[in-house]
Amino acid sequence: MKKIAHIALASAVALTLAGCGSSDDASTDAMADDVEVSADEAMSGPEDAGALPTADASATEDAEPAADATTAANAASDEAAAAVADVEAAAAEADNAN
């Protein structure tokens, strides 16, 4: 019985491995189908390679929206902490009632 199981397992593995390959001619070189830009084009850079990068004006604007977001996050955190305290108090009352 074990011999039959080993033969069945070996043939299943062989069929699985045979099903993975789909190359008709193994002598052809593998080609990447999803490459959009060749390596030479990607490394060449823009036409004006001597140009210096410029500063982004939006990067130096005031950080007021971030401060508002921080304030809102702190308020939400405080509300969550108050809700947790309420639940703990209700659980303590329920324990004392029993």
Token reading at 25: 């001619």
User: Tens of pLDDT along 66-88?
Assistant: 667 778 888 889 999 999 999 99
Token reading at 42: 């990607």
Token reading at 57: 């004006």
Give the pLDDT of residue 79: 92
Q: In angstroms, how far is the first alpha carbon of the chain from the final one?
A: 64
Give the pLDDT of residue 2: 86
Residue type, 8: A
State the DSSP code for 27. T
Residue type, 30: A
User: Tens of pLDDT along 3-58?
Assistant: 998 999 898 888 887 777 666 665 555 565 655 666 666 666 666 555 666 777 77
Apex 33 CA angle, 31 and 35, nearest 5: 100
SS3 89: helix
Give the pLDDT of residue 57: 73
Give the pLDDT of residue 81: 92
